[in-house]
Amino acid sequence: MDPLKLAGRIATIEDPAPSQACLLRAVSTAYYALFHLLISEATLNWGRSEFRSEPGRIFDHGKMKNAAIQFRSALESRRKSSPVASKLHHVVDTFIKLQQHRNRADYGTSEEWNQSDTIEPIADVEAAFESWKGIRDESEAPAFLVSMLGTRMRSDHS
Partner 1 sequence: MADRPGGFRHVQTGGQFVGPGEEKVVFCAVRFDERDVHPTFSLASPICDTDILVIARGFARQAELAKAIEEIKPLLGPDVVRLTYKLEEDWSGDPSIFFRVVLSDRASRRSEILAATRRVEDLMVDHMRPLEEWGLLPYYNYRSPTEQAARAVDDWA
Residues near partner 1 (CB under 8 A) are 62, 65, 69, 72-73, 76, 93, 96-97, 99-100, 103-104, 107, 112, 114-117, 119-120, 123-124, 127
Work out how close the CB of 48 gets to partner 1 at its nearest, in angstroms, rounded to a whole number: 33
Work out how close the CB of 33 gets to partner 1 at its nearest, in angstroms, rounded to a whole number: 16
Work out how close the CB of 112 gets to partner 1 at its nearest, in angstroms, rounded to a whole number: 7
Work out how close the CB of 120 gets to partner 1 at its nearest, in angstroms, rounded to a whole number: 5
Cβ-based nearer residue to partner 1, 54 or 76:
76
Angle (CA) 150-42-121 rounded to 5° is 85
Interatomic CA distance for residues 131 and 123, integer angstroms: 12
Cβ-based nearer residue to partner 1, 38 or 105:
105
Work out how close the CB of 61 gets to partner 1 at its nearest, in angstroms, rounded to a whole number: 8
Cβ-based nearer residue to partner 1, 31 or 135:
31
Counting beta carbons within 10 angstroms of the beta carbon of residue 30, is it exposed (0 to 12), middle (13 to 18) or buried (19 or more)? buried
Percentages helix, strand, coil for the chain (3-state, rounded to 5) are 70, 0, 30
Q: Distance from first CA to last CA of the chain, Å, rounded? A: 38
User: Which among 66, 42, 65, 63 is positioned nearest to 54, based on CA atoms?
Assistant: 42
Cβ-based nearer residue to partner 1, 9 or 97:
97
Do 102 and 31 touch, CB atoms closer than 8 A? Answer: yes
Cβ-based nearer residue to partner 1, 42 or 105:
105
